[in-house]
Structure 1
Amino acid sequence: MSPAEAVAAANDNSLTLIDVREQAEVAMTGKAKGAIHVPLSRLRDMADPRHPDFDDAFRQTGPIALYCASGGRSQTALGLLQQLGYGDLHNIGGLGHWVQAGGAIEPA
């Protein structure tokens, strides 16, 4: 999935968009409009249905698109979610890719 495809899918609410950057980064730049902020360091707990910190946003059955600052951490996150049994995962790179594709930013 390209960043432009992710922007279109996010606009019609047909995917879950996850920002895996750290809180300080999100506070400085904002996040993609509609994205859920789950820092990579917390992703395993929040995405594992057996964990007490499981986030219901991960119950969605459609595609999941991940991004970070440049695409490295979102690729790590993609692998982690695959290990937990998630499918239809997409690394769309960094927040800059989202913006270049026409995606809106919202405050953290």
Structure 2
Amino acid sequence: MSSEGVVENPKFQRLINVRERLQCIGCDPSRHFSTMADIEYAELSTTFPDLVVFDVRNRYELEEKGQILGSHCVPFVELESAMDMAEDAFEAKYGLKKPTKTTPIVTHCTKGGRARKAGDLLKSMGYNARVYAGSFNDWKANGGPVLNPGKPFAPLN
């Protein structure tokens, strides 16, 4: 922290920005709040090819616990800056074309908390987002295909 009280670490500043954006749209990070419709396993498993599914867990979590087959790792702490990236930079970093504002996006994490916050954030940015509230644990419990260990996209640097 600088002498003026400004956070100098860019990662901490991104977290502060995400928290402030969530609070601006009425999402108290300590409570669950959302105006969007959730998606359940039955619908997600049958419409998966028509959706972009963001796994908002950290990369190491996918590597340790597995990954919904066909999902894309865009960690929650990177989500806001990711969606502000140019299309080519997004594709280079995350291994898929950047969704448009009208592309149906589904967010999930382990149990649903970060997925809800990610969905709210995407909605506040104008994206067509829904939340898989049961998230990875529900997917596994229902026998959905899982890649274990998970293999989040690794950009060439």
TM-score range, shorter chain: 0.7 to 0.9
Are 1:23 and 2:63 an aligned pair? Answer: no
Number of residue pairs aligned between Structure 1 and Structure 2:
105
Distance 1:80 1:53 in 2: 20
Aligned partner of 1:91 in structure 2 is 131
| Aligned-residue identity in percent | 28
TM-score (norm 1): 0.83
- Rg larger in 1 or in 2? 2
**Residue aligned with 1:69, SS:** coil
Higher RCO (C-alpha 8 Å, min separation 6): 1
Distance 1:4 1:66 in 2: 15
CA RMSD of aligned residues (A): 2.1
Unaligned ranges ≥5, structure 2: 1-38, 92-96, 152-157
**Residue aligned with 2:111, SS:** coil
TM-score (norm 2): 0.60
Unaligned ranges ≥5, structure 1: none
Distance 1:30 1:57 in 2: 23
